[in-house]
């Protein structure tokens, strides 16, 4: 039996489109791309030379300089986002409620940049030059840990690490914690920053990255037959989930309701999804069942949509398997066409945008879809943002290791 109703009372984001929620959302609806030539390191020897870099971010706006130096970039993003989130939710964390507020933030790879820099320092100057803050800086759970420290939230404090589904799992499990009465509110989402030589080398070796270097803003093109791989990106997206009772007690603004969560495993391959999309379909079916929603009640899908041939095909097949004839009526968008693939942060950021869609009655489009793949024949909103009040939306994330996660949202009307 269902427990507490769970609602969204706050949102925040740092993306390649903007340093906060408002600017990111505005750029998303304006069909802008955040993909640029890499400037963070010498990219000359790499096949792919583009990324969704976040530019002009100053961590000291949110974090004292000394503490910021002891954080990898992904943790800085998370702490900054958490402060914007608390403000957006108009939530005061104090002795009266701190034990009832938890933190679950998904991170796919952790402090890759810190690992690279420290390893070089050790090789060049010896192990005695390794900082005592090396381990606390790089570990993936430090995004959640530092957010807890900075906000004072002392409820459940967890990191989900499930590749590109990390952020989605975080939101799903945060929903479960509140539904079961283990917390009244949860700071949740995803953070990632792996735009580094080692990160690029790894994905380049897999031939996973787009090499459309001369035209970066058109490089990420989900469902287009000319797509040639995903674009690595970075960022953070956080949501404040809260029990409806708690939100009402404090008169919070409610942006949407979370009604379901589904997860599954392909049990197939370390990187490739099942070609018929069966694992993805299972996760979606479980989210629908969890929310007590029929397939035909869903209006909008925020797709995983990576701009890789196999993922796009498999997700499309999964949507057809789950929704049948109704699949052609779904308004589908792929945020990665504009922000690139933020890996562990993807589920967090894309859930933020999904909630914004429900709250504002507008569905963002999918850019760069000029020559659709013959098998990718659903409505991906390629014509741009659509003024449409969706009532129910599902957001998808799928990751290496065959891990699949979906969160189901409903427009809040009660």
- Find how far residue 242's CA is from the centre of its chain: 19
Going by C-alpha positions, the residue among 190, 172, 188 that lies closest to residue 180 is 172
Alpha helix ranges (H) inside 4-48: 21-29
Per-residue DSSP letter, 42: -
d(CA 246, CA 158): 22
Phi-psi region of 347 (alpha: psi -120 to 50; beta: other; left: phi over 0): alpha
> How much of the chain is in helix, strand and coil states, percent to nearest 5?
40, 20, 40
Return the SS3 of 141.
coil
- The DSSP string of 323-388 is HGGGGGG-EEE-THHHH-B-GGGHHHHHHHHHHHHHHHTEE---TT--SB-TT--S---TT--EE-
Alpha helix ranges (H) inside 241-335: 244-249, 278-291, 309-323
d(CA 310, CA 315): 8
Backbone angles phi and psi of 389, in degrees to 5: -85, 95
d(CA 341, CA 337): 9
Q: Rounded to 10 degrees, what is the CA torsion of 197, 273, 345, 227?
A: 60
Torsion sign, CA atoms 142, 306, 335, 276: negative
Q: How far is CA 160 from CA 45, 90, 133, 176, 264, in A?
A: 33, 26, 22, 14, 15
Going by C-alpha positions, the residue among 103, 82, 88 that lies closest to residue 9 is 88
CB 187 within 8 A of CB 351: no
CB 412 within 8 A of CB 255: yes
Going by C-beta distance under 8 Å and a sequence separation of 6 or more, which residues neighbour residue 19?
54, 56, 57
Residues annotated as catalytic (active site), given as ranges: 164, 304, 341
- The DSSP string of 200-240 is HHHHHHTT-B---TT-GGGT--TTBTT---B-BB-EEEEEE
């Amino acid at each position: 039996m269902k427990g507490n109703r769970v609602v969204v009372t706050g949102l925040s984001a740092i993306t390649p489109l903007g340093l906060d929620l408002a600017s990111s959302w505005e750029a998303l609806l304006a069909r802008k791309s955040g993909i640029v030539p890499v400037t963070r390191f010498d990219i000359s020897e790499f096949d792919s030379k583009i990324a969704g870099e976040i530019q002009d971010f100053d961590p000291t706006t949110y974090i004292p300089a000394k503490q910021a130096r002891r954080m990898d970039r992904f943790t800085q993003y998370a702490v900054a986002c958490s402060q914007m989130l608390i403000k957006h939710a108009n939530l005061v964390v104090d002795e009266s409620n701190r034990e009832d507020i938890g933190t679950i933030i998904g991170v796919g790879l952790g402090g890759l940049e810190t690992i690279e820099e420290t390893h070089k320092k050790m090789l060049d100057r010896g192990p005695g030059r390794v900082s005592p803050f090396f381990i606390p800086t790089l570990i993936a759970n430090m995004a959640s840990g530092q957010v807890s420290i900075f906000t004072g939230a002392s409820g459940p404090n967890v990191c989900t690490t499930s590749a590109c589904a990390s952020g989605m799992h975080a939101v799903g499990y945060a929903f479960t914690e509140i539904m079961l009465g283990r917390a009244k509110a949860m700071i949740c989402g995803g953070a990632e920053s792996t735009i580094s030589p080692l990160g690029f080398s790894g994905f380049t070796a897999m031939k996973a990255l787009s090499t459309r270097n001369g035209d970066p803003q058109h490089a990420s093109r989900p469902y287009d037959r000319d797509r040639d791989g995903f674009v690595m990106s970075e960022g953070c997206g956080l949501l404040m989930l809260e029990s409806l009772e708690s939100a009402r007690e404090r008169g919070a603004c409610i942006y949407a309701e979370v009604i379901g969560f589904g997860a599954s495993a392909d049990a197939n391959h370390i990187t490739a999804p099942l070609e018929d999309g069966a694992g993805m379909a299972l996760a979606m079916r479980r989210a629908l069942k969890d929310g007590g929603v029929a397939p035909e009640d869903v209006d909008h899908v925020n797709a995983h949509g990576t701009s890789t041939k196999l993922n796009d095909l498999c997700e499309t097949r999964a949507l057809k398997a789950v929704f049948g004839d109704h699949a052609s009526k779904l308004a589908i968008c792929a945020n990665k066409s504009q922000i690139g693939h933020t890996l562990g942060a993807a589920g967090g950021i894309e859930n933020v945008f999904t909630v914004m869609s429900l709250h504002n009655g507008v569905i963002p489009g999918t850019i760069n879809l000029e020559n659709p793949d013959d098998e990718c024949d659903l409505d991906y909103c390629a014509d741009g943002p659509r003024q449409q009040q969706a009532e129910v939306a599902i957001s998808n994330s799928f990751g290496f290791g065959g891990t699949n996660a979906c969160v189901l949202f409903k427009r809040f009307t009660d």
